[in-house]
A and B are shown apart, each in its own frame.
Chain A
Amino acid sequence: MTWTSDELMTVNAARALAGARTCFVGIGLPSAAANLARRTIEPGLVLIYESGTLGSKPSRLPLSIGDGELADTADAVVSVPEIFNYWLQAGRIDVGFLGAAQVDRYANVNTTVIDRGPGRPEGRLPGAGGAPEIAASCGKVLLVLRHSPRNLVGELDFVTTVGHGDGPGSRARLGLPGAGPVAVITDLGIMRPDPETAELTLTDVHPGTTAGQAVAATGWPLAVAGDLRVTEPPTEAELTALRRLAQGAPDA
């Protein structure tokens, strides 16, 4: 079978949920990955959406975080204050899965404004949504976005959501309870924070991609792990499940 680079990204993002019990799901790429994980590697995964659904089991990929099917198939539906206070802030959720517009070398995230240079107004992005507290309070965080120097930048124009702050020890100093980002999955490969420096390091490339391509598509001098791995090609089962999801076909 053949596949696209976006499919490589989503399949690997889904695999990153292996072993997770509960996942707070952002809309877009994270939702596609989390729903794919529930159909492949982690069928018991509890999907939690900020619209207030606990244990959603949609048969199709939702367009928004508030599609009716998310509530209709949930184990419980709660109010928005409750989902953030009793469930997220209380530390009950294993993994937060987020998309991003801009990410820096410490996996901090900007989804607020883009600096377009002198004399031009700031470019407006949607804003924070649930991300600052999802990244603070979930046990760990996964990020998924396309790899480009526009998205992976040397310096953020605005820090919306803290990943590893300005490096080792930052999260503890800020009093952020969760472990923070453990992987950034892109269409070229996977970056993980270095255990010593907390700086994102290329640990995996997807089949057919070189480390050089990933380095060239990164806005800071990206470190490459000595034992760089190549991700396993997508299986037929993964691709079939993903394409059914993307087409809006009901669960097989």
Chain B
Amino acid sequence: MAEIRSLRDAVAGLVHSGDTVAMEGFTHLIPFAAAHEMIRQRVTDLTLVRMTPDVIYDQLIGMGAARKLVFSWGGNPGVGSLHRFRDAVENGWPRPLELDEHSHAGMANRYVAGASRLPFAVLRGYRGSDLPSRSATISTVVCPFTGEELAAVAAINPDVTVIHAQRADRDGNVQLWGLVGVQKEAALAASRVLVTVEEIVDDLTPAPGAVVLPSWTVDAVALAPNGAHPSYAAGYTVRDNGFYQSWDAVSRDRDAFLRWMDENVLEEAR
């Protein structure tokens, strides 16, 4: 059963240095508040898993929290590059970053295999691409029924998955809706699950298209209103496109980035 905890306690209890951590949310419901708490607690040496690293991993990578990144598209959506990600990959700053790189279809299926507790997933993918030459988690398998050769991708089973949702009830049942991305699969693939929410309510009234994660699939729920900012939570907040645009200038320069993190993330701990 999920425990309702403070974000500080939940991160301290569930996210450890050296872990493989998936923080999902496809543009929507990205768990920024939890990432900032991880940065404040100096969690490090992480293998970070996420389809779209986005600004959330640009921040973790720039602060030196990651040793490896597993991903499929590393840009600032609609804006340009993730400069901290690029600086780590191209120049090893603040530390080298090992990569395992996939396509979206491959990553989505890796989570499906992980949630299903299968060793791998099958898809028609990567045909003719150079991507398999750089990844140890892409191979091929021959269909025993038709003889067709298909791509096989290794399951992802994170030590901990962190997601943000609209709300939970007092028993820790979690409800999210809108673009639900790959969060259900990422949560069910993990050993431990931490969910931050906009609101804790007495009753979860049904919402169209909502995903419910029963309390017994979640370890901790932490209240974090606006905890997806600059991403958003449908029904509560809107995507702060201006922030994503302004991140380009902040993140281009190492000192400007460190200053921003100091003033906007680390300051809270003092």
Chain-B contact segment, one of A57-65, A188-196, A235-243: A57-65
A220 within 8 A of B: no
Interface residues of B in 70-105 (CB under 8 A from A): 71-75, 77-79, 81-82, 85-86, 89-91, 101-105
Flag if B105 contacts A162 (CB, 8 Å): no
Contact B178 A88 (CB under 8 A): no
Q: Are B128 and A128 in contact, with the CB atoms below 8 A?
A: no
Judge whether B71 and A127 touch: CB under 8 Å.
Answer: yes
| In the complex, number of A-B residue pairs with CB atoms less than 8 Å apart | 168
Contact call B104/A50, Cβ cutoff below 8 A: yes
**What is the bound-complex CA distance between A112 and B111, given in angstroms?**
22
Interface of A: prevailing SS: loop
Partner of A128, one of B77, B81, B91, B102: B102
Taking CB atoms and an 8 Å cut-off, the chain A residues in 38-77 that contact chain B are 50-53, 62-68, 70-72, 77
* A130 proximal to B (CB < 8 A): yes
Tally A residues with Cβ within 8 Å of B. Answer: 50
Write the chain A residue with the least CB distance to B25.
A66
**Which residues of the partner chain A approach B86 to less than 8 Å between Cβ atoms?**
124
**How many angstroms from the CA of A131 to the CA of B125 in the assembled complex?**
10
B149-181 vs A, CB cutoff 8 Å, 1 = contact: the mask equals 100000000000000000000000000001111
Is the C-beta of B12 less than 8 angstroms from some C-beta in chain A?
A: no
Closest 8 CB pairs between A and B? A66-B27, A126-B75, A64-B77, A162-B128, A129-B73, A63-B78, A84-B105, A133-B105
A213 at the interface (CB under 8 A from B): no
Q: Are A132 and B26 in contact (CB under 8 A)?
A: no
A6 to chain B minimum Cβ distance, whole angstroms, is 16
Measured CB to CB, the nearest residue on chain B to A64 is: B77
Q: How far is the CB of B150 from chain A (nearest CB, A)?
A: 9
Chain B interface mostly helix, strand, loop or mixed? Answer: loop
* Residue A18 interfacial (CB < 8 Å): no
17 A-B pairs, CB-CB below 8 angstroms? A51-B179, A63-B239, A63-B245, A64-B241, A66-B26, A79-B185, A80-B108, A89-B125, A121-B90, A124-B86, A126-B81, A127-B75, A128-B104, A160-B131, A162-B129, A174-B128, A177-B124
The CA of A112 and the CA of B102, in the complex, are separated in Å by 10
Question: B residues within 8 Å of A by Cβ?
Answer: 26-28, 51-52, 71-75, 77-79, 81-82, 85-86, 89-91, 101-105, 108-109, 111-112, 123-131, 148-149, 178-182, 184-185, 209, 232, 234, 238-239, 241, 244-245
Q: Whole-angstrom distance between the alpha carbons of A131 and B130 in the complex?
A: 13
Considering only CB atoms, which chain A residue lies closest to B110 in the complex? A81
Q: Which residue of B lies closest to A111 (CB)?
A: B73
Q: Which residue of A lies closest to B130 (CB)?
A: A159
With A133-B124, A176-B127 known as contacts, the answer to whether A64 contacts B78 (CB < 8 A) is yes
**A133 touching B28 by the CB < 8 A rule?**
no
Contact flags A176-192 to B (C-beta < 8 A → 1, else 0) = 11000000000000000
Q: In the bound complex, what is the Cα–Cα distance between A204 and B244 (angstroms)?
A: 37
A223 within 8 Å of B (CB atoms) = no
- A71 touching B179 in the complex, CB below 8 Å, given contacts A52-B26, A128-B104, A174-B128: yes
8 Å CB contact of B72 from A66, A129, A176, A177: A129
Is the C-beta of A12 less than 8 angstroms from some C-beta in chain B? Answer: no
Q: Is A161 an interface residue (CB 8 A)?
A: yes
* Cβ of A123 under 8 Å from chain B: yes
A67-B239 CB under 8 A given contacts A126-B73, A128-B103 = yes
Q: A50-B104, A129-B72 are in contact. List 8 more A-B contacts (CB 8 A).
A: A51-B181, A81-B185, A124-B74, A126-B74, A126-B82, A128-B73, A130-B104, A175-B148
B contact residues around A62 at 8 Å (CB):
78
Contact B103 A174 (CB under 8 A): no
CA distance A70 to B180 in the complex (A): 13
Task: Please measure, in the bound complex, the distance between the C-alpha atom of A67 and the C-alpha atom of B179, giving whole angstroms.
Answer: 9
CB distance from A165 to the nearest CB of B (A): 6
Residues of B contacting A138 in the complex (Cβ-Cβ under 8 angstroms): none
Known contacts A28-B78, A77-B179: does B124 contact A137 (CB below 8 Å)? yes
| CB <8 Å contact, B77 and A132 | no
Check if B181 sits within 8 Å of A79, measured CB to CB.
yes
Query: A170 on the interface (CB 8 Å rule)?
Result: yes
Is A122 close to B, CB under 8 A?
Answer: yes
User: In the complex, which of the residues B82, B85, B105, B245 contacts A130, with contact meaning CB atoms closer than 8 Å?
Assistant: B105
Contact B104 A84 (CB under 8 A): yes
- Residues of B near A132 (CB, < 8 A) are 103, 105, 125-127, 129, 131
Q: Tell me the complex Cα distance, A131–B72, Å.
A: 10
